[in-house]
């Protein structure tokens, strides 16, 4: 009840004069010589949400242009309209004032027209100002990477609260600003700027001290500017692989956009008591690129790595380590049926500074005290996720590593990630969100290693997204699986079979002997895979995980992968095990 009162009060009080927002965003200026200073009660980028007092931001989109809805915004009582000066649609507005086809019966207070070089950047800056810069009152931690973001967000959020630090979070899967966790139904990992700053303001109003924000490449890109005006105290980079190139245009641009997270770390002055912290996966070949961006913010750079052999995973890793201030290593590692056990080693820079470049990880850490940790969640990649959290908590918030290890033993998994289904069936069934080439290279070896019989994989690839990754996914799956059931993921406006054939081509051209079935309907694909499975086989359903819909040409179709899979098992006569 207290939480609801606080949030209601927050929304009621959230009003700003237009002049205050203009002062906060110096890239905007009045375009109509008006001296009016209306009160703004909401920031809106969708004309359907406009109401009296709204400030409407006309944003060019992938499928439509918000400038075409300015008239609608005016009719619905917008107090101000922000348009983009470089947009062709508004050239008449700049040259001739209000066009003839705009409504003429608008009553005072008359909407004020605001010109901006980028309406998206203006939206970001105004959003931060409208909510009184909530990030300044929170310890904000950003998580980025191609894979592992949502799991790392979930783990870090759990650890913060278990260690007595009230925290909220925003992720692809869910979000929490008060006491209740709610599903993220936006199908947008990083919400638009007004939603980001509103959610952070809710956290502040509810007494949170920290905020964990899944920071995607889309959100960090200057194209969207969703996170442009968010400063971070800490940042974790999990990894990067082939993904979203249809949006970014190239891998270097994709990497650069992700690295914006580290460029937005709070600048740590030499005499500052609160230094920002960058936590980076040393196993990723882009470690040095990201570390140098963090160094420009004078951040403390933490490297992390997990290794069973003790050898460096790549040639440049030992050299790259010289860019770090401290190393968190997991060695040795033991994968268990119900989780992972490993020895945590914290290595100070003095241990490798000036040492021979060929010195192995094992040699480097042998003199370091080992702290045994148990992670009750399967998947070796989750060791990396927890290592990143451990480094961040230790270095940013000065939490003793032993306390973190104790809290990690109680971590819970994330919806749609490595979820086993027990219905008494003679085969193993697992639901996971893996949907990129990078995640495939991590999960398929695990599935293959634990599978006693045939490995059957059900998966697809997104429509209207990175088309180049489709055959790559097919090739990786064919290397490890015995049977592929290729199906819909989110076809959107693309033909399902075109996507499926792209994946199949990669599987066939890989040269691996694999049986391929092409079944567009996902429920039918899952049912078919279960029908093929026999004793000792493993069926993995990849790509949907936690998501609550499948996006088709007809719109969003409700979907719950776990529930559908359980229903298919029950229709086969298997009963859910308690």
pLDDT digits (tens, 9 = 90+) for 173-201: 789 999 998 877 665 668 899 999 999 99
Check the annotation: does 298 bind a ligand: no
Q: Strand 80-84: give its sheet, edge to edge.
A: 28-30, 112-116, 80-84, 54-57, 42-44
For residues 187, 134, 262, 361, the Cα torsion angle rounded to the nearest 10 degrees is: -90
H/E element, 570 = helix 561-571
Residue 271's pLDDT is what? 59
CA 552-557-560 angle, to 5 degrees, is: 125
Residue 287 dihedral angles phi and psi, to the nearest 5°: -55, -50
pLDDT at 121 over 70: yes
Check the annotation: does 487 bind a ligand: no
- CATH of residue 506's domain is 3.90.190.20
- Using the structure block, give the residue that is written with the tokens 């064919």: 478
Pairwise pLDDT comparison (351 vs 470), residue with the higher score: 470
The radius of gyration of the chain from alpha carbons, rounded to an integer in Å, stands at 25
Pairwise pLDDT comparison (189 vs 444), residue with the higher score: 444
Round to whole Å and give the CA distance between 284 and 483.
30
pLDDT at 3 over 50: no
- Using the structure block, give the residue that is written with the tokens 């990849």: 542
Are residues 367 and 427 both part of a single domain?
no
Question: Of 127, 150, 175, which closes a domain?
Answer: 127
pLDDT at 102 over 70: no
Among residues 348, 359, 354, which one has the least CA distance to residue 303?
348
For residues 382, 310, 330, 343, the Cα torsion angle rounded to the nearest 10 degrees is: 130
H helix runs in 182-264, sequence order = 193-205, 217-220, 245-248, 251-263
Among residues 33, 45, 37, which one has the least CA distance to residue 15?
37
Round to whole Å and give the CA distance between 46 and 61.
11
**DSSP conformation class of 214:** E
Check the annotation: does 177 bind a ligand: no
H/E element, 20 = helix 18-24
Give residue 399's domain range.
Answer: 131-408
7 in a domain, yes or no? no
Segment 524-531 mean pLDDT:
97
Residue 189's pLDDT is what? 66
Segment 345-369 mean pLDDT:
78
Segment 432-442 mean pLDDT:
88
Number of other residues whose CB lies within 10 A of the CB of residue 73: 26
Pairwise pLDDT comparison (254 vs 415), residue with the higher score: 254
CA 167-195-135 angle, to 5 degrees, is: 45
Which residues contact residue 66 at a Cβ distance below 8 angstroms, ignoring those fewer than 6 apart? Answer: 45, 46, 47, 57, 58, 59, 60, 119
Among residues 215, 217, 242, which one has the least CA distance to residue 230?
215
437 in a domain, yes or no? yes
Are residues 379 and 431 both part of a single domain?
no
Check the annotation: does 309 bind a ligand: no
Round to whole Å and give the CA distance between 293 and 283.
17
Are residues 423 and 480 both part of a single domain?
yes
pLDDT at 130 over 90: yes
Which residues contact residue 63 at a Cβ distance below 8 angstroms, ignoring those fewer than 6 apart? Answer: none
Residue 317's pLDDT is what? 81
Confidence band, pLDDT 50/70/90 cuts, at residue 163? very high
Residue 347's pLDDT is what? 93
Beta partners for 42? 54
Are residues 329 and 312 both part of a single domain?
yes
Check the annotation: does 149 bind a ligand: yes
Are residues 265 and 138 both part of a single domain?
yes
Round to whole Å and give the CA distance between 357 and 322.
10
H/E element, 22 = helix 18-24
- CATH of residue 310's domain is 3.40.1190.10
Which residues contact residue 368 at a Cβ distance below 8 angstroms, ignoring those fewer than 6 apart? Answer: 345, 346, 347, 351
Round to whole Å and give the CA distance between 269 and 298.
7
Number of structural domains the chain divides into: 3
Beta partners for 168? 211
Are residues 159 and 308 both part of a single domain?
yes
Pairwise pLDDT comparison (41 vs 61), residue with the higher score: 41
Residue 314's pLDDT is what? 76
Summarised one tens digit per residue, pLDDT across range 9-59 is 344 457 999 999 999 988 888 877 778 899 999 999 999 999 999 999 999
Check the annotation: does 216 bind a ligand: yes
Which residues contact residue 374 at a Cβ distance below 8 angstroms, ignoring those fewer than 6 apart? Answer: 339, 340, 341, 408, 409
Are residues 34 and 164 both part of a single domain?
no
In 436-500, the DSSP E strands lie at: 455-459, 483-486
85 in a domain, yes or no? yes
Check the annotation: does 390 bind a ligand: no
Round to whole Å and give the CA distance between 266 and 230.
10
Q: Report the length, in residues, of the chain.
A: 578
In percent, the amount of the chain with pLDDT more than 90 equals 61
26-40, 74-88, 532-546: range with highest mean pLDDT: 532-546
Residue 103's pLDDT is what? 46
Confidence band, pLDDT 50/70/90 cuts, at residue 559? very high
Question: Of 81, 111, 127, which closes a domain?
Answer: 127
Are residues 181 and 112 both part of a single domain?
no
**DSSP conformation class of 266:** P
Are residues 285 and 384 both part of a single domain?
yes
CB 261 within 8 A of CB 232: yes
pLDDT at 246 over 80: no
Segment 369-388 mean pLDDT:
89
Confidence band, pLDDT 50/70/90 cuts, at residue 8? very low
30 in a domain, yes or no? yes
Pairwise pLDDT comparison (362 vs 69), residue with the higher score: 69
Are residues 252 and 293 both part of a single domain?
yes
Among residues 327, 265, 331, 325, which one has the least CA distance to residue 294?
265
1 in a domain, yes or no? no
Q: What tokens were used for 359? A: 């010195």
Check the annotation: does 145 bind a ligand: yes
Segment 337-364 mean pLDDT:
79
Question: Of 380, 408, 436, which closes a domain?
Answer: 408
Confidence band, pLDDT 50/70/90 cuts, at residue 88? low
Pairwise pLDDT comparison (110 vs 293), residue with the higher score: 293
Are residues 325 and 228 both part of a single domain?
yes
5 in a domain, yes or no? no
CB 406 within 8 A of CB 371: no
Check the annotation: does 146 bind a ligand: yes
CA–chain centroid gap for 307, Å, is: 25
Angle between helices 561-571 and 522-532 in degrees, nearest 10? 50
56-65, 267-276, 323-332: range with highest mean pLDDT: 323-332
Tell me the pTM.
Answer: 0.78
308 in a domain, yes or no? yes
Residue 5's pLDDT is what? 32
578 in a domain, yes or no? no
- Which range among 20-29, 79-88, 552-561 shows the weakest confidence by mean pLDDT? 79-88
Helix (H, G, I), strand (E, B) or coil at 293: helix
- One-letter-per-residue 3-state SS of 121-161: HHHHHHHHHHCCCHHHHCEEEEEECCCCHHHHHHHHHHHHH
CB 481 within 8 A of CB 509: no
Check the annotation: does 384 bind a ligand: no
Are residues 90 and 186 both part of a single domain?
no
Segment 136-160 mean pLDDT:
94
Pairwise pLDDT comparison (72 vs 100), residue with the higher score: 72
Q: Give me the half-sphere count of Cα atoms (radius 13 Å) on the Cβ side of residue 417.
A: 23
């Amino acid at each position: 009840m207290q939480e609801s009162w606080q949030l209601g009060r927050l929304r009621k009080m959230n009003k700003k004069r237009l002049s205050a927002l203009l002062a906060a965003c110096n890239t905007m200026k009045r375009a109509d010589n008006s001296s009016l200073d209306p009160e703004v009660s909401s920031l809106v980028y969708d004309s359907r949400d406009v109401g009296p007092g709204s400030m409407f931001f006309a944003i060019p989109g992938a499928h439509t242009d918000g400038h075409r809805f300015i008239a609608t915004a005016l009719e619905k009582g917008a107090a101000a309209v922000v348009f983009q000066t470089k947009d062709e649609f508004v050239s008449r507005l700049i040259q001739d004032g209000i066009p003839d086809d705009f409504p003429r019966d608008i009553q005072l207070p008359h909407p004020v027209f605001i010109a901006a070089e980028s309406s998206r950047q203006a939206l970001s800056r105004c959003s931060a100002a409208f909510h009184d810069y909530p990030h300044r009152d929170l310890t904000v931690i950003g998580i980025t990477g191609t894979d592992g973001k949502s799991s790392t967000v979930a783990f870090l959020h759990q650890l913060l609260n278990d260690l007595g630090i009230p925290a909220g979070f925003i992720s692809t899967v869910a979000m929490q600003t008060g006491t209740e966790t709610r599903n993220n139904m936006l199908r947008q990992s990083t919400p638009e700027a007004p939603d980001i700053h509103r959610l952070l303001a809710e956290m502040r109003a509810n007494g949170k001290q920290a905020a964990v924000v899944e920071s995607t490449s889309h959100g960090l890109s200057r194209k969207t500017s969703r996170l442009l005006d968010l400063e971070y105290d800490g940042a974790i980079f999990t990894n990067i692989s082939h993904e979203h190139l249809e949006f970014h245009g190239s891998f270097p641009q994709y990497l650069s956009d992700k690295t914006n997270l580290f460029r937005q770390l709070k600048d740590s002055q030499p005499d500052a008591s609160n230094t920002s912290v960058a936590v980076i996966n040393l196993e990723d070949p882009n470690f040095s690129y990201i570390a140098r961006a963090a160094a420009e913010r004078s951040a403390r750079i933490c490297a992390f790595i997990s290794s069973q052999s003790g050898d460096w995973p790549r040639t440049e890793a030992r050299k790259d380590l010289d860019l770090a201030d401290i190393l968190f290593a997991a060695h040795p590692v033991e994968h268990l049926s119900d989780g992972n056990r490993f020895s945590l080693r914290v290595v100070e820079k003095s241990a490798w500074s000036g040492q021979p470049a060929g010195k192995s990880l094992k040699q480097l850490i042998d003199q370091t005290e080992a702290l045994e940790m148990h992670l009750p969640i399967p998947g070796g990649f989750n060791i990396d996720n927890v290592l990143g959290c451990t480094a961040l908590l230790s270095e940013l918030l000065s939490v003793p590593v032993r306390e973190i290890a104790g809290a990690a033993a109680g971590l819970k998994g994330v919806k749609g990630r490595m979820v086993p289904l027990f219905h008494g069936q003679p085969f193993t069934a697992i639901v996971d969100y893996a949907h990129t080439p990078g995640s495939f290279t991590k999960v398929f070896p695990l599935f293959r290693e634990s599978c006693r019989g045939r490995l059957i994989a059900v998966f697809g690839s997104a429509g209207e997204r990175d088309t180049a990754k489709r055959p790559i996914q097919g090739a990786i799956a064919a290397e490890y699986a015995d049977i592929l059931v290729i199906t819909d993921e989110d076809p959107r406006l693309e033909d399902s079979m075109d996507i499926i054939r792209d994946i199949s081509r990669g599987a066939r051209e890989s040269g691996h002997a694999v049986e391929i079935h092409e079944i567009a309907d996902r429920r039918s694909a899952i049912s078919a895979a279960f029908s093929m499975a026999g004793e000792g086989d493993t069926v993995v359903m990849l790509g949907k995980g936690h998501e609550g819909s499948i996006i088709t040409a007809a719109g969003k179709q409700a979907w719950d992968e776990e529930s559908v899979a359980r229903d298919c098992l029950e229709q086969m006569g298997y009963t859910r095990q308690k």
